Amino acid sequence: MATKSEIKLLGTPASPYVNRVQFVLNLKSIEYEYIEENLACKSELLLTSNPVHKKIPVLFHANKPPICESLIIIEYLDEIKPDVHRILPSNPIERADNRFWANYIDNKFYPLYEELRLTLGKEGKELIKKQIIEGSVLLEEAFMKFSNEKAYFGGDDIGYLDVVLGCFLAWTKFVEKHNEFKVFDDVRTPRLAEWTKRIWSHEAVKDVIPGNEPIVNFYMMLQKYKPPGAV
């Protein structure tokens, strides 16, 4: 059983990739120590534990060398404590399907938010917003397929894709307000609009999702270190 000191998580409150790991730690009742990182001035710990990417989250488990990349960490946690709140299904084709959509969310969908921030000019931004909306429709279809009329991607309770997509909700809210559009709305993506409210209030999620302040601070940092118009 993982005691508090056995698992440590290096992260920042505004990082959705860190948040999703925290959801899983909560769902599996794994106690952990949270170490806050300052991304504007990366610590020795981060630079030595993730020299390849220099990114959070990083998970430390007992004396083992660190584990990096949020989706890899999530599968690791699922494997060391499989009997409590299974995250990925056991069927190979369902696992492949879940991993496919996680890959889509991380490599195609969410990067659009950053592209939107970096794009200057109304026309450019409208094009990106259109892509985000097209993506939301794909995700709505995926939700229908996975949930099978139930409350979550995982069925009756939170599963892998709920965690993978759910972590982006605070940023989604921010991007929607900032750009005056809806990513998930009641007409175009009614099920995901419902799911958003449901997941936001879930036990394992509600205390992890950051409030507006960390998001705004993170946004200001991005604007400063990676200003719009930069390639």
Partner 1 sequence: MAGSDDVVLLNFWASPFGARVKIALAEKGVVNYDYKEEKLADKSSLLLKMNPVHKKVPVLIHHGKPICESNIIVQYIDETWQNDDPPLLPSDPYLKAQARFWADFVDSKVRFSGIWRTKGEEQESAKKEFIDLLKVLEGQLGEKPYLIGESFGYADIAVIPLSCWFYALETVGKMNIGQECPKLIEWVERCMERESVSKSLPDPHKIYEYLLEKMKKLG
The yes or no reply on residue 67 touching partner 1 (CB under 8 A) is yes
Whole-angstrom distance, CA of residue 48 vs CA of residue 66: 10
Residue among 1, 41, 96, 230 that touches partner 1 (CB under 8 A) = 96
Q: List the one residue out of 118, 135, 74 whose CA is nearest residue 225.
A: 118
Residue 159 or 210 having the CB closest to partner 1: 159
The yes or no reply on residue 7 touching partner 1 (CB under 8 A) is no
Give the DSSP letter of residue 71: H
Whole-angstrom distance, CA of residue 83 vs CA of residue 47: 34
The yes or no reply on residue 231 touching partner 1 (CB under 8 A) is no
The yes or no reply on residue 89 touching partner 1 (CB under 8 A) is no
Minimum distance, C-beta of residue 160 to partner 1, in the bound complex (Å): 13
Whole-angstrom distance, CA of residue 212 vs CA of residue 25: 23
Whole-angstrom distance, CA of residue 23 vs CA of residue 160: 10
Residue among 20, 28, 61, 129 that touches partner 1 (CB under 8 A) = 61
Whole-angstrom distance, CA of residue 55 vs CA of residue 49: 9
Query: Under rule CB under 8 A, which residues in 140-179 are in contact with partner 1?
Result: none
Taking a C-beta distance cutoff of 8 angstroms, is the pair 172, 184 a contact?
Answer: yes
Residue among 3, 29, 38, 100 that touches partner 1 (CB under 8 A) = 100
Q: Which residues contact partner 1 by CB under 8 A?
A: 52-53, 61, 64, 67-69, 72-73, 75-76, 79-80, 92-93, 95-96, 99-100, 103-104, 108, 138
